[in-house]
Amino acid sequence: MSEKLSPWESQLVNVKKTCDLMGLEPAVYEVVSHPKAILKVALPIRMDDGSVEVFDAVRIHHNDARGPTKGGIRYHKGLNLDTEMALAAWMTWKNAVVNLPYGGGKGGIDVDPKALSKVELERLTRAYAVAFANFIGVDLDVPAPDVGTNAQIMAWLIDEYYKVTGKITPGVITAKPLSLGGSVGRTAATGRGVYFASREASKLYGIPIKGSDVSIQGYGNVAYYAATNFHDAGANVVAVSDSKGGIYDAKGLDPVKVMEHKRETGSVLGYPGAKEMGSADVLTVKCDYLIPAALQNALTKEVAEKVDCKMIAEGANGPTLPEADVVLNEKGITVIPDICANAGGVTVSYFEWVQNRQGYYWTEEEVDQRLERVMVTAFHDLKAQADKYDVPLRTGAYALAIGRVAEAMRFLGWI
């Protein structure tokens, strides 16, 4: 049963299926089914009460045939190696789909950041920077924020990295504060990219965004900016959720007011006039566009059987299990895969890296225009592959990505 597959095994199902479909030499799959490098460390941290706690940390380089590895650092309780390997691999494919000169990386710390004081969080972050200083670099591996991390944490990381290396290289970390070389437009980029990909799909599949109903699992950064972009385009955001629960209003929610309510109360629950439901219930709300924008493996086979929408745009990484994909395809539901739909964030992180290296910074309008161009091109490139092999968009996206990575590995002499 695919529900029992680990995230790493789950992504390998798609990779193997695509390699076989394309008739690629066996060496391609053999190389990409193994992370290139993994560094695991234990970080002893003195807590505010004088005690010492040890935190497990990891960083993974999946594949660097196309350039330095790129991917987030997450602070998440229960973080495990298998999931991080899968996330690193998804970054390889995502970067290749949008044609960035990167490979895939990922990593983080097994910790609940909310359980630490700000001082403890800073100590832990600086310890991570010291431990991984030789494993990251502007031409080696470029981290960014992920679940449980933010621009402040990136600032502590980069400050400690500068101290260890003796060099100021802003491009070593992206999604930094603007005052430290961050890029305008980065915060909204992932959610905006979800919208751009959906807009292109809407034209081809005849599902207008204006007047459509949209349901979103999650209400963090990605979900919020996806919601505001759909809302601004005339869609009705009928449901959203967070870890505490979901809310629904058939007449449509105001995304900005929902976020204001969440910031004031700590949850979307209790929003005036909305019906409350479970966090996962928003996945089965009747709608036109469904956006899973929480954690991986949200759409199981059982959930997919209850999904009632026309199109899914994956804001989260790996939200759909392989057997769920089969169900969705049988139901005629179009799925814009994560490795395209949520690539807006890493695309603007790439823009930040480029700006850091040039020492020249773009306007928000320039960033937005470039992001739109990348997302539009990527969607039509993967659609062309899907049409070529007569397969769903997910397989088309993997064909596009794996083909590009395989080409680079051939030129390098790896295969």
Do the Cβ atoms of 90 and 70 come closer than 8 Å? no
**Residue 2 scores a pLDDT above 50:** no
Kindly tell me the burial class for residue 192, based on how many C-beta atoms sit within 10 Å of its own C-beta (0-12, 13-18, 19 or more).
buried
| 380 pLDDT above the threshold of 50 | yes
Q: Round to whole Å and give the CA distance between 316 and 143.
A: 18
Q: With contact defined as beta carbons under 8 Å apart, do 107 and 57 qualify?
A: yes
As a whole number of angstroms, the distance between CA 362 and CA 23 comes to 42
pTM of the shown model = 0.94
pLDDT, one tens digit per residue, over 135-173 is 999 999 999 999 899 999 999 999 999 999 999 999 999
Measure the CA–CA gap between 340 and 397, rounded to whole angstroms.
7
What would the two tokens of residue 193 be? Answer: 């990219």
> Which residues, 6+ apart, have CB-to-CB distance to 345 below 8 Å?
144, 175, 186, 189, 190, 193, 222
- The Cα angle at residue 100 between residues 99 and 101, in degrees rounded to 5: 120
Query: Which sequence positions are flagged as catalytic?
Result: 106
What is the CA angle 378-384-388, rounded to 5? 145
H helix intervals, 338-392? 338-341, 344-358, 364-389
User: CA triplet 34, 37, 40: central angle to 5 degrees?
Assistant: 115
Token readout for 217 is 């699992």
Instruction: Name the fold adopted by 187-341.
Output: Rossmann fold (3.40.50)
CA–CA dist 40, 226 (Å, integer): 34
* 292 three-state secondary structure: strand
pLDDT band at 86 (very low <50, low <70, confident <90, very high): very high
Extract long-range pairs of 362-368: CB within 8 Å, 24+ residues apart: 362/183, 362/184, 363/184, 364/184, 364/185, 367/183, 367/184, 367/185, 367/186, 367/189, 368/185, 368/192
Domain 35-170 has CATH 2.40.30.110: no
Helices and strands (H and E) in the chain: how many: 14, 12
CA distance 32 to 34: 5
Q: Which pLDDT score, from 0 to 100, does residue 1 have?
A: 42
Domains 35-170 and 187-341 in one fold: yes
- What pLDDT is attached to residue 24? 98
- What is the mean pLDDT of the segment spanning 334-344? 97
Higher-confidence residue: 318 or 411?
Answer: 411
Classified as helix, coil or strand, 285 is: coil
Query: Which residue is listed with tokens 């539009």?
Result: 376
Under DSSP, the state recorded for 137 is B
The neighbour count for residue 98, using CB atoms within 10 Å, is 25
In the chain, where are the structural domains located? 35-170, 187-341
Q: For every residue of 108-133, which 3-state class applies, written as one string?
A: EECCCHHHCCHHHHHHHHHHHHHHCC
pLDDT band for 10, please (50, 70, 90 cuts): confident
pLDDT 10s digits, 280-298: 999 999 999 999 998 788 9
pLDDT digits (tens, 9 = 90+) for 396-414: 999 999 999 999 999 999 9
Q: What mean pLDDT, rounded, does the chain reach?
A: 96
Q: Does residue 3 surpass a pLDDT of 60?
A: no
**Over residues 198-226, mean pLDDT:** 97
| Residue 241 pLDDT greater than 90, yes or no | yes
For the chain, the C-alpha Rg in angstroms (whole number) is 20
C-alpha distance from residue 207 to each of 84, 203, 308 (Å): 35, 7, 14
Using CB atoms within 10 Å of the CB of residue 168, give its burial: 0 to 12 exposed, 13 to 18 middle, 19+ buried.
Answer: exposed
Q: What number is the average pLDDT over the span 253-280? A: 97
What per-residue confidence (pLDDT) applies to 46?
Answer: 98
